[in-house]
Amino acid sequence: MLQSRHLLSGLGLSLMIATLSANAAGLTAEHKAFGKTNDGTPVEQYILRNSHGMQATVITYGATLQSLKVADKHGKFDDVVLGFDDVQGYQKGTAYFGATIGRFGNRLADGAFELDGKRYQVPQNDKSNALHGGTLGFDKKVWKAEETKDKDSVGVTLTYLSADSEMGFPGNLTTEVTYRLTDNNELRIDYKASTDKPTVLNLTNHSYFNLAGAGNGDILKQVATLHASHYTPVTAKLIPTGELAPVAGTPMDFSKPTAIGTHIKADHPQLKFAEPKQGGFDFNWALDTKGDLSKVATEVSDPQSGRHLQLFTTEPGVQFYTSNFLDGTVKGKGGKVYPHWGAFTLETQHYPDSPNQPNFPSTRLDPGQTYSHSVVLKFSAK
């Protein structure tokens, strides 16, 4: 298992020790302290930069993408992901800003599933559902970390050992998440995991994006394309019905570039399930790319800043969520307020509630197998 770098302390004061490395491509990585959790556990921060000025910052609390600075069409950099300036913000937060989600991303009906005839119970934290791994998921753990680099990228690999029966899931599970920044303005996230007992697993990243800059208004005019001809409709409890329904003729049709706000308030029962008062998107789209990492799965552009995001993934689905429950009460980085519909997520994943849905792609992981999952976020501006 990878070992974390240890922060030095003396005279009762934590020293902000930074290490800086670089490779031939002009990519650099900086490593320093990011404070401590409430129980005194040190949290570290890794700042990855490329030669164009793009910067990705990852913290060991929740293996979280804490910041992502990207240039607009005028060359001005802004942070395009929501988050906090200190560990305590993440400890108190309930929105999963930027976090690695596990063991099971998205929802499990009644927090339960069966495996080989045995029923397992995960703590319910979304009414009757278990959401994103239960009450203390991977987003609330401090991961071990080590810098990684090669001739084309600079990055950080984070590891976490989830003990057998943690949050009700079977098996000792070793998970590894690697963030890599390239000089092509790509941030790549690779996941690997192995278990010593049969289990279920569905990892993802829960970054909230606003291409105009985090805290800079809503995302209703930003234009999304989801290369998916079907989605998984849900019940009022936001659990899939088991159907793969066509998006054609519904507000879920983003097969062509469509402003996110165009149909977000449409009078459609699915949108009311996602957010009863005003509507919104919180659904899994079944991607037509079918795990081909060379094909664009989703893309979003911001007409004002010119920023453009292309997402590639090996996963069969993506949860497109429009931050329906942000309400302007959360203050994030720099004291900025995060408004309703102030960001979107693109959570690459297997489908929600898959262990209870026999027709969905399997999320089972057995001993001797290696779970793997990759996603590439490519940024440009024009």
Q: What is the pTM of this model?
A: 0.94
Phi, psi of 131 (to 5 degrees): -115, 130
pLDDT in tens, 182-233: 999 999 999 999 999 999 999 999 999 999 999 999 999 999 999 999 999 9
Mean of the per-residue pLDDT values for the chain? Answer: 94
pLDDT at 234 over 60: yes
Backbone angles phi, psi at 270, to 5 degrees: -65, -40
Whether residue 8 is predicted with pLDDT greater than 70 in this model: the reply is: no
Residues 207-219 pLDDT 10s: 999 999 999 999 9
Whether 1 and 51 have beta carbons less than 8 Å apart is answered as no
Per residue in 327-337, pLDDT (tens digit) is 999 999 999 99
Taking residues 21-50, report their average pLDDT.
92
Please check the confidence at residue 241 and state whether its pLDDT lies above 60: yes
Percentages of the chain per state (helix, strand, coil), in multiples of 5: 5, 40, 50
CA-based nearest residue to 29, from 58, 71, 68, 65: 58
Contacts of 30 (CB under 8 A, 6+ apart): 18, 19, 20, 46, 47, 49
pLDDT in tens, 290-310: 999 999 999 999 999 999 999
Q: How far is CA 198 from CA 116, 170, 327, 363, 370, in A?
A: 9, 7, 40, 11, 12
Mean pLDDT in residue range 143-168: 97
Reported as a pLDDT band with limits 50, 70 and 90, residue 21 is confident
What gap in Å lies between CA 18 and CA 173, rounded to an integer?
31
Does residue 308 carry a catalytic annotation?
no
- Do 221 and 304 form a contact (C-beta atoms < 8 A)? yes
Q: Which pLDDT value is given to residue 2? A: 36
pLDDT value at residue 364: 98
Question: What was the pLDDT predicted at 4?
Answer: 35
Q: What confidence tens digit (pLDDT) does each residue in 335-381 have?
A: 999 999 999 999 999 999 999 999 999 999 999 999 999 999 999 99
Four-residue CA torsion sign, 40, 41, 42, 44: negative
Q: Is the pLDDT of residue 150 over 60?
A: yes
**What pLDDT, on the 0 to 100 scale, is given for residue 19?**
66
Q: What is the pLDDT of residue 28?
A: 97
Nearest to 271 by CA among 306, 226, 234, 305: 234
Q: What pLDDT, on a 0 to 100 scale, did the predictor assign at position 276? A: 85
Active site residue 147: no
Q: Give the 3-state secondary structure of residue 377.
A: strand
According to the model, what pLDDT value does residue 277 have?
Answer: 85
Among the listed residues 31, 44, 347, 373, the single catalytic one is: 347
- Of 320, 113, 318, whose CA–CA distance to 198 is shortest? 113
Bridge partners (DSSP) of residue 200 are 364
Query: Distance between CA atoms of 62 and 158, rounded to whole angstroms?
Result: 10
Phi, psi dihedral angles at 175 (to 5 degrees):
-120, 140
**In this structure, what token pair is assigned to residue 119?**
């029923």
Binning pLDDT at 50, 70 and 90, where does residue 16 land? very low
Position 159: which residue type? T
> Average of pLDDT values for 160-173?
98
pLDDT at 25 over 80: no
Q: How many CB atoms lie within 10 A of CB 239?
A: 21
- For residues 326 and 338, is the Cβ–Cβ distance under 8 A? yes
pLDDT at residue 3 tops 60: no
- Predicted confidence band at 24 (pLDDT cuts at 50, 70, 90)? low
Average pLDDT over every residue of 226-253: 98
Q: CA-CA distance, 156 to 177, in Å (whole number)?
A: 8
pLDDT digits (tens, 9 = 90+) for 57-81: 999 999 999 999 999 999 999 999 9
Distance, CA of 106 to CA of 285 (rounded, Å):
13
Q: How far apart are the C-alpha atoms of 136 and 139, rounded to whole Å?
A: 7
The answer to whether 130 and 111 are in contact (CB under 8 A) is yes
* Catalytic hit among 206, 230, 350, 373: 206
CA separation for the pair 235, 242 (Å, rounded): 10
* Contact yes or no for 318/287 (Cβ under 8 A): yes
